[in-house]
Structure 1
Amino acid sequence: MEDILRTTQEELQQTKNLLNKSQEQMKIMEERLSLSMEGQRKLQVTSTSCQSNLGFTTNKLQEIEQQKARCEENLMVTINQKQLLDQDLSQTRFTLQTTQNKLKDTENRLNRNMLDLSKEKSSLQQTSKNLQNIQKKEETMRSNFDSLNKKWKEAQTCVTSNCEAGKDGGRVHIDPFTFCPSGWRQINDRCYFFSQERKNRINSREDCERRAATLVKIDEEDDQLQEWIGQSRQSYWIGLSKDDNSLYRWPDNTILQVHFKNNFACVKASPDLGESPCAISLPWICEKPIGRCLSKESTLQCLGEKLEVIAKKPSP
């Protein structure tokens, strides 16, 4: 029994020891639990703070993300604007280069124009000098012309005093000669003027009268005159016209028995005779007697003296 009791006591002592150890361990565990609970409380506080900070940080992060998105958008806009600016800059550089090239071309043209202007000025000065020389020569020529014209007018008196158109006035002709005015044609003892202008019948007749002539009379035997008219291949006013008695008369009042279809008052030649309205414009032919001069010698002597190509004869 004692052994059992001793054993029991030993076991009890061991149990007490274990209990004490357990109590110590419990105390340690309580301390640890208390520390754990304090740590848990602190952890909860820290967690709450972290959660609060996390929410704030999340909001900040969202704002930062939004700001980032806006920044990225602004960056894209800026990049696009930069690309546009680069394009504008490139275009501006190209335009500037083109403008510089044009300016250089303009400067070159201006230099050439200045050179041409200088040459033109020099040429103009030379032309002005030449013009002055020409004006001096013209004045000299005008003076010479006036002198020659005066001499020619004086020389014309030689013809008027020695020559007459178809009349001799009863004067004696010594070595006489005949003539037609300049621009006229001669057939036998008649002079003919073929106009280059065109006029109606009345104005054509008046022109002949101013030339001391009449519109032409064409006889059947005037072969040369008819040939000239035919060669010209055009129609001319002639002297034949219808009078108040419906008779066709020449300027010398001789009557020509002829009948025309339309019975117009005026007649043309081409070379065949044909009637025509008097108002139309045609060339015309004037006729007058040939001119006669008294003496070749006296006429030439007079002309030579007036033109100062020969010396005047001394007065007897």
Structure 2
Amino acid sequence: MLKTRYNQLSNNYSQLQSSYETLSVNHSQLQDEVKNLKDRTEVVVKSCPHGWTRSGCSCYFKSEEKKNWYESRADCQQRGADLVVINNKEEKEFVTELSKDGEFWIGLRYEWRQSGYKWEWVDGSPLTETFWAAGLTHYDGYYATCCNQQGKWTQGYHSDNKKWICEKKMI
């Protein structure tokens, strides 16, 4: 009976030792993952150029001069970016705050597609969430701006001169 108990305890000890070794390996792998994530985060933080503002995984440039929509987009592209594409409510709130001193061109345009006119982002993604000011009608050749005094999108004709916001994804 003592021998049986000894064998059980010995077996339990072996299982505990094996579990400890597995946990130790997992712990080491998790520490490596945490270090890699910290390194990547530091790269993102350091990657925003001078004069740009970081939010989430993107850097944003707010112009101080005014140009038409096409010139604004070309300026963003020369900076390795494009006009801002607003993907969610948090980004909309950030861009609204960034544009609190006027209306800025964003990367949204009303263009002809095979099935008719549609609002589309410059990255080709469809407009899924809207923050339009009330009472706007949509016409060919219109482009979106952000934001009016209530934080809603407005629109202008592509030849209007406005400031603009560029976005550069960091991941």
If the length of structure 2 is used for normalisation, what is the TM-score? 0.61
User: Structure 1 residues 183-192 or 266-275, which shifts more?
Assistant: 266-275
| Residues 281 and 290 of structure 1, relative CA distance in 2, 3 Å threshold | same
User: What is the correspondence of 1:10-25 to structure 2 with a 5 Å cutoff?
Assistant: none
1:220 matched to 2:89? The reply is yes
Shift of residue 274, structure 1, vs aligned partner: 1.2
| Residues 192 and 201 of structure 1, relative CA distance in 2, 3 Å threshold | same
Shift of residue 289, structure 1, vs aligned partner: 1.4
1:283 alignment counterpart: 163
1:267 matched to 2:141? The reply is no
Shift of residue 227, structure 1, vs aligned partner: 2.0
1:248 alignment counterpart: 119
2:82 maps to amino acid: T
1:197 alignment counterpart: 65
Q: Is the 8 A contact 1:266 1:278 kept in 2?
A: yes
What is the DSSP-based 3-state SS (H/G/I as helix, E as strand, rest coil) of the residue aligned with 2:158? coil
If you compute each CA radius of gyration, which structure gives the higher value, 1 or 2? 1
User: What is the correspondence of 1:1-316 to structure 2 with a 5 Å cutoff?
Assistant: 175-176=39-40, 177=42, 178=44, 179=46, 180-218=48-86, 219-222=88-91, 223-230=93-100, 232=101, 234-245=102-113, 246-256=117-127, 260-263=136-139, 264-270=141-147, 271-290=151-170
1:288 maps to amino acid: K
Shift of residue 252, structure 1, vs aligned partner: 2.1
Let me know the Cα RMSD of the aligned residues: 2.3
Q: Which runs of 5+ in 2 are unaligned?
A: 1-35
Q: Distance in 1 between matches of 2:80 and 2:52?
A: 13
Q: Which runs of 5+ in 1 are unaligned?
A: 1-171, 292-316
Higher RCO, Cα 8 Å, sep 6+? 2
More helix by share: 1
2:162 maps to amino acid: L
Q: Distance in 1 between matches of 2:125 and 2:168?
A: 16
What is the DSSP-based 3-state SS (H/G/I as helix, E as strand, rest coil) of the residue aligned with 2:99? helix
Report percent identity of matched pairs.
30
What is the DSSP-based 3-state SS (H/G/I as helix, E as strand, rest coil) of the residue aligned with 1:243? strand
2:63 maps to amino acid: S
Moved over 3 A (4+): 172-176, 257-260
Q: Distance in 1 between matches of 2:146 and 2:94?
A: 14
Q: Distance in 2 between matches of 1:239 and 1:214?
A: 7
Q: Distance in 1 between matches of 2:138 and 2:37?
A: 51
Q: Deviations over 1:93-112 (max 9, x none)?
A: xxxxxxxxxxxxxxxxxxxx
| Count of equivalent residues | 118
Q: Is the 8 A contact 1:186 1:290 kept in 2?
A: no
